[in-house]
C-alpha cells in the first residue's frame, strides 16, 4: 500500500467511503420500507418489489450481509487513512490521531448520516432498486453470513430472545390500521376515511348506540278511534309505523303504509284492515353489535326492529337505515341537526344537540368522553349531575367544560362545549 501514489490512495479512500455509504443507506432503506406497499407491488409482478420482499423475509441474513460489508469497508478505510497520514505527515506522534479524526468525520458525514437520511426519505423507491444489488451480494456472502449467524442465534438463545418469523411480526392490528387511515392525509378522501374509521368501530357499537329512543318513536294506538288513527297516518313521514294497544309499551305489530294505499284510495280502511296488514314486531337485544344485527336483518328479511333491555322493556327502535348511516354518515334530512358536521369555532366552542351520540361526538371533535355508560350527551350530563340541570349550569366531564344552553321535557336540548383546557 505504501508503494501506491498518494492520489491513488485518496481515490481508493473516496471509493471506500462511497461503498460504506451504500451499505449504510441499504440498511436504513430496507428496514424503513413500507412492506405493505412492497407486497402490493409484488402482486403486480414488480420484480424489484418481489426481490425486496424476499430479502425482508430473511432479515437476519440481510442485516448480517449489510453489516459485514460495512464493517469490512470501514476497517479498510481506517487502515488506508492511517497510511495516508503517515505518508503526508511522516512519523509525527499526532499523525495517526489526525488520521483517526479525519476518517471519523468522513465516515459520519459521507457514509452514515447523509446516506441514512436520504434513504429514510425515499425508502420505498430505493428499496426496489437496491434489492437488485443486495440479492446477488447475499448469495456471494451467504457462507460467511451463515457462519456468523450461528453465533448470533446462540447468543440470542442465551439471552432467551426468540425472533419472530416475518409472517408473524408484520401483520397490522386494528389499531395500527386505524392509525394508517388517520395518517393517510390527501391519499384517501375525508368521506372515505370516515367510512373506514366507522368500520373499525363496528365490533364496539351496539344497536343501543344508534337506536331512536323510545320517547321519540312514533306509534299509533289501535284502540283509538279510526278517524284519529287516519289523521295520524296521513301526517306521518315514516314508511313503517309501530302499532300499540292501549299503552305505547304494549307493541303488537308494525304497519307498512305502502300496504294501505289501495284501501286508502277506496276509503275501505278500518280497524280490521289495520290488524290484517300488521306484521309481527321484531325484537332486538340492546347489546347486539350492529355488524351482527346487519346480518340478522338480512337473514330475517327485516328492516326494522324494536330494541329491548334485559327485562324485555322497549328501549328504542333501530332500522336498517340507521346501521347504514352509522357506516357512511347521515344521508337523509331526518335529525339533520344531529348529523351536521361539528367543528370548533374561533373561540374554541361548539354548540351541540343533547341527543347526539357520544361516539359520534368523540369522533367528530376528537374528544375522549366515556362511552361505556350513557349513549348520548344528554344522558352523560344527567348521570354526572344526578339531576336535570337548569339553563346556564356549567359542568366539566372528562376534562371538557360544558354549558347548558337549553332544556326541554326533562332533557338537555342544547349544550355549548368548550375546548378541553379552556375555562
- Computed over every residue of the chain, the mean pLDDT equals 84
Cα distance between residue 281 and residue 255, in whole Å: 9
Do residues 292 and 354 both lie within one domain? no
Residue 159: count of CB within 10 angstroms of its CB: 8
Which one is predicted more confidently, 328 or 387?
387
pLDDT, one tens digit per residue, over 282-299 is 999 998 998 899 999 988
pLDDT band at 71 (very low <50, low <70, confident <90, very high): very high
Cα distance between residue 87 and residue 71, in whole Å: 24
Helices (H), 107-224: 114-121, 123-158, 166-169, 174-182, 190-200, 207-210
Cα distance between residue 313 and residue 231, in whole Å: 28
Residue 141: domain span: 6-169
Question: For residue 423, is it within any domain?
Answer: no
Contact of 24 with 116, CB cutoff 8 Å: yes
Residues 384-393: b if buried by 16+ CB within 10 A, e if exposed? beeeebeeee
Do residues 189 and 122 both lie within one domain? no
Decide if pLDDT at 329 tops 80.
no
pLDDT, one tens digit per residue, over 12-52 is 989 999 999 999 999 999 998 888 888 888 888 788 899 99
Do residues 186 and 270 both lie within one domain? no
Q: Which residue has the cell 370516515?
A: 194
Cα 339 vs. chain centroid, distance in angstroms?
21
pLDDT given at position 338: 44
pLDDT given at position 336: 41
Question: For residue 61, is it within any domain?
Answer: yes
Number of domains in the chain: 4
Decide if pLDDT at 113 tops 90.
yes
Do residues 137 and 217 both lie within one domain? no
Question: For residue 1, is it within any domain?
Answer: no
Which one is predicted more confidently, 260 or 101?
101
Question: For residue 75, is it within any domain?
Answer: yes
Do residues 228 and 154 both lie within one domain? no
Q: Which helix (DSSP H) or strand (DSSP E) does residue 231 occupy?
A: helix 226-235
Question: Which 8-state DSSP code applies to residue 372?
Answer: S
Cα distance between residue 54 and residue 260, in whole Å: 66
Question: For residue 374, is it within any domain?
Answer: yes
pLDDT, one tens digit per residue, over 190-228 is 777 777 877 877 777 888 888 888 878 888 898 888 888
Q: What is the CATH number of the domain that holds 216?
A: 3.10.580.10
Question: For residue 29, is it within any domain?
Answer: yes
pLDDT given at position 340: 58
Do residues 136 and 262 both lie within one domain? no
Amino acid at each position: 500500500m505504501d508503494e501506491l501514489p498518494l492520489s491513488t490512495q485518496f481515490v481508493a479512500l473516496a471509493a471506500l467511503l462511497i461503498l460504506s455509504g451504500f451499505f449504510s443507506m441499504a440498511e436504513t432503506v430496507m428496514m424503513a420500507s413500507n412492506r405493505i406497499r412492497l407486497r402490493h407491488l409484488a402482486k403486480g409482478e414488480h420484480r424489484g418489489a418481489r426481490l425486496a420482499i424476499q430479502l425482508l423475509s430473511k432479515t437476519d441474513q440481510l442485516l448480517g450481509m449489510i453489516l459485514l460489508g460495512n464493517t469490512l469497508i470501514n476497517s479498510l478505510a481506517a487502515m488506508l487513512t492511517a497510511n495516508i497520514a503517515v505518508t503526508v505527515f511522516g512519523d509525527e506522534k499526532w499523525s495517526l490521531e489526525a488520521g483517526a479524526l479525519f476518517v471519523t468525520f468522513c465516515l459520519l458525514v459521507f457514509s452514515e448520516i447523509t446516506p441514512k437520511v436520504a434513504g429514510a426519505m425515499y425508502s420505498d423507491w430505493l428499496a426496489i432498486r437496491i434489492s437488485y444489488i443486495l440479492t446477488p451480494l447475499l448469495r456471494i456472502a451467504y457462507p460467511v453470513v451463515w457462519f456468523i449467524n450461528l453465533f448470533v442465534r446462540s447468543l440470542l438463545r442465551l439471552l432467551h430472545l426468540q425472533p419472530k418469523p416475518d409472517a408473524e411480526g408484520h401483520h397490522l392490528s386494528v389499531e395500527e390500521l386505524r392509525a394508517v387511515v388517520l395518517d393517510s392525509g390527501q391519499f384517501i378522501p375525508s368521506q372515505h376515511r370516515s367510512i373506514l374509521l366507522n368500520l373499525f368501530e363496528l365490533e364496539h357499537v351496539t344497536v343501543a348506540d344508534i337506536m331512536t329512543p323510545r320517547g321519540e318513536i312514533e306509534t299509533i294506538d289501535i284502540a283509538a278511534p279510526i278517524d284519529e288513527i287516519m289523521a295520524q297516518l296521513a301526517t306521518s313521514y315514516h314508511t313503517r309505523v309501530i302499532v300499540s294497544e292501549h299503552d305505547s309499551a304494549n307493541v303488537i305489530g308494525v304497519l307498512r303504509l305502502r300496504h294501505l294505499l289501495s284501501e286508502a284510495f277506496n276509503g275501505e280502511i278500518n280497524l280490521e284492515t289495520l290488524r290484517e296488514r300488521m306484521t309481527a314486531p321484531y325484537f332486538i337485544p340492546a347489546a347486539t353489535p350492529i355488524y351482527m344485527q346487519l346480518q340478522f336483518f338480512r337473514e330475517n328479511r327485516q328492516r326494522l326492529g324494536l330494541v329491548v333491555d334485559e327485562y324485555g322493556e322497549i328501549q328504542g327502535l333501530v332500522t336498517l337505515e340507521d346501521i347504514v348511516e352509522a357506516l357512511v354518515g347521515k344521508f337523509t334530512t331526518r335529525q339533520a341537526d344531529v348529523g351536521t358536521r361539528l367543528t370548533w369555532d374561533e373561540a374554541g366552542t361548539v354548540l351541540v344537540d343533547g341527543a347526539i351520540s357520544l361516539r359520534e361526538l368523540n369522533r367528530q371533535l376528537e374528544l375522549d368522553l366515556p362511552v361505556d355508560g350513557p349513549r348520548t350527551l344528554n344522558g352523560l350530563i344527567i348521570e354526572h349531575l344526578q339531576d336535570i340541570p337548569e339553563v346556564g349550569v356549567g359542568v366539566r366531564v372528562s376534562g371538557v367544560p360544558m354549558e347548558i344552553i337549553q332544556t326541554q321535557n326533562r332533557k338537555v336540548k342544547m349544550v355549548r362545549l368548550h375546548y378541553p383546557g379552556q375555562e
